[in-house]
């Protein structure tokens, strides 16, 4: 009988606590999202600390490379693990090397997180299949001012849900040039390796990538609405037109040289 009364008392207390929890904000969906700010400048002087306790400016963490920037938080129970897994897969297959070709950064939006939280997140990425070279990624923490500077510059809108004790935030990858300008966005949590590769080549101002990459970028255009590269018919037609003119010019010169009495 005592056990029954104890169980009933526990259920009553649980129900009272649940009913006292604040409801989710009615405008939560409107407060969370990604506003694409192409051409915006990142706050390069904002300072962040990595898992090892090293503090440096965002400019120093980029180290003169184009940057892939993910935002979320290390203790996120849902979305952030998926986005990190998606980027890790893309990096392992893309042929890009973090720290050599591109700077890969995960910036926490929670100023309360610790070095231990950042370390666990880095270790989780290191355990994922493939070689994403997680040791060269930067898992960064900052104060509220530094976090706000980055999220506002990139258009990353998020909100804290006190009812769940979690952050509501969007999923997406920001690609920046080496001088800190937002160049592209890849929305969602899964990233096509070739798309990531081309995005970094484009952000490098074509200092990276092969001749094939340059030709693909010439024939494809980045669509901000979808966050993907699509074949651009106008560019293809323009390329074909130039090619046709070049062929005609070559034939004209060849025939001119073969005509008797005409000097080459």
- Secondary structure, 3-state, 143-168: CHHHHHHHHHHHCEECEEECCCCEEE
Among 77-81, 115-119, 175-179, 252-256, the minimum mean pLDDT is found in 252-256
Band (pLDDT 50/70/90 cuts) for residue 162 is: confident
- pLDDT score for 260: 58
Put simply, whether the predicted model's pTM sits higher than 0.85 gets the answer no
Segments making up each domain of the chain, as ranges: 28-206
Can you tell me the distance from the alpha carbon of 191 to that of 83, in angstroms, rounded to the nearest whole number? Answer: 9
Mean pLDDT in residue range 147-153: 97
* pLDDT at 141 > cutoff 90: yes
Give me the percent of the chain exceeding a pLDDT of 90: 54
Residue with tokens 């966050």: 227
Close Cβ partners of 235 (under 8 Å, ≥ 6 residues apart): 218, 219, 220, 221
- pLDDT score for 188: 87
Taking only the tens place, the pLDDT of each residue in 206-256 is 655 444 444 444 555 555 555 555 554 344 444 444 455 556 666 666 666
Average pLDDT value over all residues in the chain? 80
* pLDDT at 131 > cutoff 80: yes
Can you tell me the distance from the alpha carbon of 47 to that of 138, in angstroms, rounded to the nearest whole number? Answer: 13
Mean pLDDT in residue range 188-208: 83
Taking only the tens place, the pLDDT of each residue in 72-90 is 999 999 899 999 999 999 9
Among 13-22, 148-157, 244-253, the minimum mean pLDDT is found in 13-22
Mean pLDDT in residue range 175-196: 92
* CB-CB contact of 93 with 129 (8 Å): no
- pLDDT score for 4: 45
- pLDDT score for 147: 98
CATH architecture assignment, domain 28-206? 3-Layer(aba) Sandwich (3.40)
- pLDDT score for 124: 94
Of 99, 32, 102, residue with least CA distance to 72: 32
Higher pLDDT, 53 or 1: 53
38 vs 34, 107, 153, 244, 252, CA distance in Å?
A: 12, 19, 10, 35, 45
Of 228, 193, 221, 212, residue with least CA distance to 102: 193
């Amino acid at each position: 009988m005592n056990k029954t009364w104890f169980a009933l008392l526990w259920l009553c207390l649980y129900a009272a606590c649940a009913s006292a929890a604040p409801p989710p904000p009615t405008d939560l969906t409107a407060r969370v999202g990604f506003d694409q700010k192409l051409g915006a400048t990142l706050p390069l002087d904002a300072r962040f600390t990595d898992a090892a306790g090293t503090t440096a400016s965002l400019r120093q963490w980029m180290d003169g490379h184009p940057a892939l920037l993910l935002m979320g938080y290390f203790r996120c129970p849902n979305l952030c693990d998926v986005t990190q897994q998606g980027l890790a897969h893309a990096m392992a297959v893309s042929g890009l090397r973090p720290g050599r070709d591109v700077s890969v950064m995960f910036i926490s939006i929670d100023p309360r997180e610790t070095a231990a939280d950042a370390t666990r997140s880095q270790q989780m990425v290191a355990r994922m299949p493939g070689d994403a070279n997680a040791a060269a990624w930067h898992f960064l923490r900052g104060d509220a001012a530094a976090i706000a500077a980055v999220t506002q510059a990139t258009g990353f809108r998020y909100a804290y849900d006190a009812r769940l004790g979690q952050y509501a935030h969007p999923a997406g990858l920001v690609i920046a040039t080496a001088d800190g300008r937002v160049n592209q966005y890849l929305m969602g949590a899964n990233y096509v390796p070739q798309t990531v590769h081309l995005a970094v080549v484009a952000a490098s101002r074509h200092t990276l990538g092969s001749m094939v990459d340059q030709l693909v970028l010439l024939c494809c255009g980045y669509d901000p609405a979808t966050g993907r590269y699509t074949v651009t018919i106008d560019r293809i037609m323009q390329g074909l037109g130039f090619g046709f003119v070049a062929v005609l010019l070559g034939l004209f010169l060849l025939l001119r040289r073969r005509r008797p009495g005409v000097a080459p």
